[in-house]
């Protein structure tokens, strides 16, 4: 199952997921997007793997660890979360609205693009 979590609710999701391990945010945006806008880590680890590279880099992720996927608006990250679920990853969330919602709801210092 993939949880749908707004950026403003992410801390609550992390708190619930902590029972299964340290939370991880997987940013699946392209390198140019990361240079344009990035999130500050606060109580979670951030790993950036572009969506197109993920199949070849899957071994870099721990399937037992709670993982929330992030992209620009939430569509790519939802596809990645579905892919990870098919690969046996357990606790998954899609950060609905992506980094755009992150900027509007959680941290206005993150540039919108």
Residues with catalytic annotation?
71
Q: What are the angstrom distances between the C-alpha of 58 and each of 27, 37, 77, 89?
A: 13, 24, 15, 11
Give the 3-state secondary structure of the chain.
CEEEECHHHHHHHHHHHHHHCCCEEEECCCHHHHHHCCCCCCCCEEEECCHHHHHHHHHHCCCCCCEEEECCCCHHHHHHHHHHHHCCCCCEEEECCHHHHHHHHCCCCCCCC
């Amino acid at each position: 199952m993939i949880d749908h979590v707004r950026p403003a609710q992410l801390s609550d999701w992390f708190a619930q997921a902590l029972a299964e391990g340290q939370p991880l945010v997987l940013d699946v945006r392209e390198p140019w997007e990361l240079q344009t806008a990035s999130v500050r880590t606060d109580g979670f680890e951030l790993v950036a793997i572009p969506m197109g590279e993920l199949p070849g880099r899957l071994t870099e992720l721990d399937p037992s660890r709670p993982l929330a996927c992030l992209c620009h608006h939430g569509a790519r990250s939802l596809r990645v979360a579905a892919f990870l679920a098919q690969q046996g990853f357990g606790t998954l969330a899609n950060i609905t609205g992506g980094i755009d919602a992150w900027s509007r709801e959680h941290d206005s210092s993150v540039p919108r693009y």
